[in-house]
Amino acid sequence: MAGNENIECCDRRLEFILQKGEDWQGYVPETATCGVCDTSFEKMVGNEHAYKLVEDENGLHYECTECGELIMAIDMAHSKWITSFGGLGNCERETIPYCPNCETKPEYNGNPIMPKNKSVMSLFG
Ligand SMILES: [Zn+2]
Ligand SMILES: [Zn+2]
């Protein structure tokens, strides 16, 4: 798929760099910084609009580059798979940003976290 992102700042096209996260993460961000004004941008992989980090009298927050809306975030819980017969493990938490104008609110329940180095079937074998 050809990259059709042409998010610009100061008449320059931003170069987004993929941030490697955990396998279970629902939100995989790409970040960019404008070389002219030093503004930070962040976006979900595949999104054509980004979140722009702005600072004003209310402090730091993100704005949508598409519509200027204030970016909201939800706290998403990822329940871990049962790793022993002791019961359910803890939850990992993840903050998922979204534009309330351009994007639909992410579902509260995230992907389950798969145990590392262990297939699901081995739990039932
Ligand atoms: Zn700029
Ligand atoms: Zn928006």
Residue 1 lies in a domain: no
Average pLDDT over every residue of 29-57: 94
Rounded to whole angstroms, the Cα distance separating 38 from 61 reads: 15
Residue 49 lies in a domain: yes
Q: Each residue of 53-87: pLDDT tens digit? A: 999 898 999 999 999 999 999 888 887 765 555 45
Structurally, how many domains does the chain consist of? 1
Residues in the chain, total: 125
Beta strands (DSSP E) in 80-115 are 91-98
Q: Who's near 58: CB < 8 A, 6+ residues apart?
A: none
- Which residues sit with Cβ closer than 5 angstroms to ligand 2, an ion? 64, 66-67, 69, 99, 101-102
**13: CA distance to ligand 1 center in Å?**
10
Domain of residue 53, residue span: 8-123
Residue 46 lies in a domain: yes
Average pLDDT over every residue of 2-9: 70
Residue 7 confidence class, pLDDT cut points 50, 70, 90: very high
Ligand nearest to the CA of residue 64, numbered in listed order: 2
Residue 76 lies in a domain: yes
**43: CA distance to ligand 2 center in Å?**
11
**35: CA distance to ligand 1 center in Å?**
7
Dmax over Cα atoms in the chain, in whole Å? 59
| For the chain, percent of residues with pLDDT exceeding 90 | 44
Residue 25 confidence class, pLDDT cut points 50, 70, 90: confident
